[in-house]
Amino acid sequence: MVQVKRNTGAYLYLGGDIRKRVQGFPVVFVVDFGRGNIRAVPRKVSVTPEDGIPLREFLEDQVKTL
């Protein structure tokens, strides 16, 4: 399960109920911080453009586990 957010600021506040799984599927937050900086970020209330890992790297790691 993926939730995509877009933010050009220094912080993104996810807030609310941050669940690890929905209907048995893991939840991954993907944030577009602008200028090609698209990242898979951890589930926490506030994330920055340096948090998490680049989306490409995250997807490559996921393919390796299949």
Q: Can you give the pLDDT of all 66 residues of the chain as single tens digits? A: 576 777 777 877 776 677 788 888 888 888 888 888 999 987 787 888 999 999 999 999 989 987
Q: Is the dihedral of CA 17, 60, 39, 30 positive or negative?
A: negative
Q: Tokens 């393919």, residue?
A: 63
- Domain span at residue 29 reads 2-64
Number of structural domains in the chain: 1
Q: What's the confidence (pLDDT) of residue 3? A: 67
Residues 6/16, Cβ–Cβ less than 8 Å: no
**Separation CA 23–CA 35 (nearest Å):** 33
State which amino acid sits at residue 59: L
